[in-house]
Amino acid sequence: MKSRTKVVVIGGGIAGCSTLYHLTQEGWSDVVLVERNELTSGTTWHSAAQVTNFGMNQTMVGLKTHSINLYKNLSENPEYPINYHHADGGIRLANTEAQMQGYRHFASMARGMGVEFEVIDAEECARRHPLISTTNLLGGLWDPLDGDIDPAQLCQALAYHARKAGAEVYRNTPVTALSQHKDDTWTVHTEQGDIDCDIVVNACGYRVNEVGAMMGVHHPVASMEHQYFLTEDIPGIAEAGHRMPLLRCQISDYYSRQEKGGLLVGFYEQDCKPWGMDGIDPNFVNALCPDDLDRVMDVLEGAFERMPALRETGIRSVVNGPITYTIDGAPLVGPIPSKRNAFCIIGLRAGLGEGGGHGWLLAQQIVHGEAFYDTWCLDPRRFTGHANVELTSLKAIEDYQNEFRFHFPHEHRPAGRPAKTTPLTPILAAEGAEFTVVNGWERVDYIKPSPDFHPSLTFNFDEAFNVVASEVKNVQENVGLCEVNGFNRLEITGPDRHSFLYRLFCGNVTRRSGRVGLGYLLNHQGMIKGEATIANIPASDRGPDRVWYGSAAASEYHDMDWLSQHLRADEDVQIRSMTNDQTILVLAGPNARNVLSACARGDWSKEAFPWLSVRETFIGFAPATVMGISFSGEHAYEIHVPNASLYAAYLTLRSAGERHGLKLFGARAVESMRMEKGFLHWKADLLTEFDPFETALDRFVNLDKGQFVGKDALLKRKASGPKRSLVTLKIDAIHAPAHGGASLMEGDTVVGTITSGDWGHRVGMNLAYAFVTPELTSPGTTMNLDMCGDMVAAEVIPFSPYDPDFSLMRS
């Protein structure tokens, strides 16, 4: 066994084998996999092993397409062929028009990734799958490349090709401890000896937190028992003359695929059961949980109704084994928060179907620092301090119960709520607030007109449309108040703070005391990494001269990692998180200055406190830091208040605002207004797949300044010209917004992809942002949007259709 290597991958299931294989494909051969027992002895060996193209976003579709292509190539390789039933086809069933509308959106989204789905009616579903009944069925989504694969053969093939490229695999080598050294390298301690390495990868399936504990971290991964059975031969399968398509039924919570002359039928029952909550037996290897078919009888009845042949068929065997889930059901693939040179590929509930793509994206991150796609939907840092075992298990149960039910726009399921709150949460709930969730925080979405107000789940504009319009109107004409909790706030101190930030931002960032600026951070490939406001706060009794770095709530762990990893040993800089200590109250509208002046001492005139200023003050007697910035496009202030004083500040503002028409507004109103102003959202419009020039952020780039992270790569990209460019679109539809991922078309050619969409209530337009081919960026250019299957016209318009000269914000 080696004593020194570049990467040690821990775990020999699909996650570990795929990672090892793809590391060699990226050119790293000095890599090792260690497995406590035999390859595939965890969850992988009993996987139902379905391989589909379906995904909830374009990144997921892309990684699944990579898996399909990889598995097909492996299956055809004469050196080590594997059994892969490629392109049997698969149907996802639906019995409501809303579900069918969702399928049409996913078909539009997948088209932008080169994947063709087909939305079919009930009769066509039955024609392609002759075992199903059309009772209570509207139709389904057809995936022509759906199939299944032999899990053990797949992993052995990946390991075989990795070994051939120079990698080594050590079976029966349990890891006993992990040690990280001052230079951020690691020692992996095993029962067979120690291995020093640069990088460690946790690919340990349901034992993920046993290895996590060796690093001093906890991963939000929980396991659920999952049952399927194999039937005796079914005459209808032989009579069909072709392999049965795979079936996934959100109506009855089951799936099936052909297995020899019968079916494999799996269940997602409501009376489901977590597994391993109190630890896992060390001897649980190639093992299963006890059968418990009584638990799935309700689901089985639905399967009998949909597939009557099951009533006449015997059961050959039952499989009940653990599968892993995360809080949102998507895997954790990428850097481990707060750790250097440590990665994970865990929580793969559909590991065999997706594992090829997950290993591909992780290997790219390890070798190159970034992946081919923006991987935020998989990033382990998208969950923060609230992600404990209990919350993860509650969300795993909920996700298991809704396995085939996709999330609708504005749908927020109830399990594990409220995870993060402020002192205002119950107050705002009493005011009628409906809440959305941002990184676990309960944030006001809008104020309900009545307690029994419950909008429909739909891809169209829902019943909250007029409620949001009213909130926007009051902000435009009077003044509104909005709580923005969870906003990532880092305090940066030390004499080298400005030179440190100078290196990280691609443009000029103000150093002037009492002033605020906006800037962008790039990765080493010259692509957008982050967006942040920088506020220079003068010394006071609250602290020394300092910088407040503010960014999206979801970026809390992501940005802290990026900043700390780029801090040089010779720089005198300290970074402290204030994210969970402060909350923002946004005061926006033409009467905002009057309200602020009524409850805070000092001169708040335009001359004394111009746009992009920052000042410490008191709201009544509550300490606060006020910034003259706006995300709505109206004259506005961000009022940052310690949580201990938040309620007092809120009461003071509400009282001062009574005579000025102050009303509450929420996140949906903010979304509408920021679309009208040309303001972008991190990880919706700001992606690692595009550079700042492609993202229409030229004014925030200064190539004449000294060296900054990503500058050399950005210069090369600029010389080669943009591949895609961000534009604002006016959509010719009044019934629905454009949804992220939807495809823009010229004839049968995809020419762009939507990133965000919403109705602009102040300008009376249906607005969207999209990345399109460079020749389509001129205002007045038209194309078609595939809006849930309907082709509607989309016209490029100038950015910021509302108040384009920013006069209101400066007023």
- Which residues does residue 535 pair with via DSSP β-bridges, in sequence order? 516, 548
For tokens 């946004």, what's the residue? Answer: 586
Q: How far apart are CA 728 and CA 549, in angstroms?
A: 28
pLDDT of residue 254: 97
Q: Which of 462, 451, 520 is nearest to 680 (CA)?
A: 520
Over the range 126-156, which residues count as b (16 or more CB within 10 Å of their CB) and which as e?
bebbebbebeebbbbbbbebbbbbbbbbbbb
Neighbours of 298 (CB within 10 A): 14
Amino acid at 668: R
Long-range CB contacts (within 8 A, 24+) of 693-699: 693/717, 693/718, 693/722, 694/722, 694/723, 694/724, 694/725, 694/726, 694/771, 695/528, 695/726, 696/725, 696/726, 696/727, 696/799, 697/520, 697/528, 699/507
Name the band, by pLDDT with cuts 50, 70 and 90, for residue 7. very high
Map residue 176 onto helix, strand or coil: strand
How confident is the prediction for the chain on average, in pLDDT? 97
pLDDT of residue 351: 82
| Burial of 595 (C-beta count, 10 Å sphere; 0-12/13-18/19+) | buried
Please tell me the total number of residues recorded for the chain in this structure: 811
Q: How far apart are CA 157 and CA 162, in angstroms?
A: 8
Neighbours of 629 (CB within 10 A): 20
Neighbours of 727 (CB within 10 A): 24
pLDDT of residue 387: 95
Considering only the C-alpha atoms of the chain, give the largest distance between any 2 of them, rounded to a whole number of Å.
85
Q: How far apart are CA 659 and CA 364, in angstroms?
A: 58
DSSP for 477-538, written as a single string = HSEEEEEE-S-EEEEEESTTHHHHHHHHBSS-----TTBEEEEEEE-TTSSEEEEEEEEEEP
Q: Encoding tokens for residue 701?
A: 């780039």
pLDDT of residue 543: 95
Q: What is the CA radius of gyration of the chain?
A: 27
Taking only the tens place, the pLDDT of each residue in 724-735 is 999 999 999 999
Q: Which of 29, 175, 53 is nearest to 118 (CA)?
A: 53
Q: What share of the chain is helix, strand, coil (3-state, %, to 5)?
A: 30, 30, 40
Q: What angle do CA 385, 531, 549 make, to 5 degrees?
A: 65
CA 292 from centroid of its chain's CA atoms:
34
Q: How far apart are CA 71 and CA 77, in angstroms?
A: 10
Map residue 361 onto helix, strand or coil: helix
Q: Compute the average pLDDT of residues 593-617.
A: 98
Q: What is the DSSP letter of 289?
A: P
Taking only the tens place, the pLDDT of each residue in 293-309 is 999 999 999 999 999 99
| Burial of 76 (C-beta count, 10 Å sphere; 0-12/13-18/19+) | exposed
Q: What is the DSSP letter of 686?
A: B
Sign of the four-CA dihedral 280, 282, 285, 291: negative
Alpha helices in 527-591 (DSSP H): 556-565
Question: Does pTM surpass 0.95?
Answer: yes
Helix (H) or strand (E) holding 653: helix 646-657
Name the band, by pLDDT with cuts 50, 70 and 90, for residue 41. very high
pLDDT of residue 632: 97
Q: How far apart are CA 462 and CA 454, in angstroms?
A: 10
Q: Encoding tokens for residue 52?
A: 């589909």
Q: How far apart are CA 95 and CA 151, in angstroms?
A: 32
- Sequence-distant (6+) residues with CB within 8 A of 718 are 691, 693, 703
Q: How far apart are CA 125 and CA 142, in angstroms?
A: 8
| Burial of 725 (C-beta count, 10 Å sphere; 0-12/13-18/19+) | buried
Taking only the tens place, the pLDDT of each residue in 354-392 is 999 999 999 999 999 999 999 999 999 999 999 999 999
Taking only the tens place, the pLDDT of each residue in 440-492 is 999 999 999 999 999 999 999 999 999 999 999 999 999 999 999 999 999 99
Map residue 200 onto helix, strand or coil: strand
Taking only the tens place, the pLDDT of each residue in 650-705 is 999 999 999 999 999 999 999 999 999 999 999 999 999 999 999 999 999 999 99
Name the band, by pLDDT with cuts 50, 70 and 90, for residue 646. very high
Q: What is the DSSP letter of 336?
A: P
Q: How far apart are CA 578 and CA 576, in angstroms?
A: 6
For tokens 């290993």, what's the residue? Answer: 359
CB 263, CB 231: distance < 8 Å: yes
Helix (H) or strand (E) holding 26: none
Q: What angle do CA 718, 724, 730 make, to 5 degrees?
A: 130
Q: How far apart are CA 195 and CA 201, in angstroms?
A: 13
Give yes or no for residue 88 having a pLDDT over 90. Answer: yes
Cis? peptide before 220, omega within 30° of 0: no
Give yes or no for residue 350 having a pLDDT over 90. Answer: no
Over the range 164-198, which residues count as b (16 or more CB within 10 Å of their CB) and which as e?
ebebbbbeebebeebebeeeebbbbbbeeeebebb
Taking only the tens place, the pLDDT of each residue in 202-222 is 999 999 999 999 999 999 999
